[in-house]
């Protein structure tokens, strides 16, 4: 990362990783162990990308997963 800006290839990989997180948990109830696993996966991505942009996208993904889980219950 140069000057806090992610390279194009890194940005692509970040989007791909965020998509995989969303895809994995979008159809789950996010109860119990699944919830903890989703939080752990999100934390790993936060540490991996460590940027404001990545954190904002990750927050949006987690909020959407939460909304989906609430609508299922």
Q: Are 65 and 22 in contact (CB under 8 A)?
A: yes
What number of H helices and E strands is found in the chain? 3, 0
pLDDT digits (tens, 9 = 90+) for 4-21: 567 899 999 999 999 999
Candidates 63, 48, 52; CA nearest to 14 is 48
Condensed to tens digits (0 to 9), the pLDDT of residues 17-58 reads 999 999 999 998 888 899 999 999 999 999 999 999 999 999
| pTM metric for this prediction | 0.86
């Amino acid at each position: 990362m140069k000057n806090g800006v992610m390279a194009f290839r890194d940005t692509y990989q970040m989007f791909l990783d965020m998509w995989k997180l969303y895809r994995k948990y979008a159809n789950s109830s996010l109860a119990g162990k699944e919830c903890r696993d989703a939080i752990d996966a999100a934390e790993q991505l936060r540490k991996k990308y460590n940027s404001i942009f990545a954190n904002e996208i990750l927050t949006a993904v987690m909020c959407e997963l939460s909304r989906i889980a609430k609508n299922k219950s």
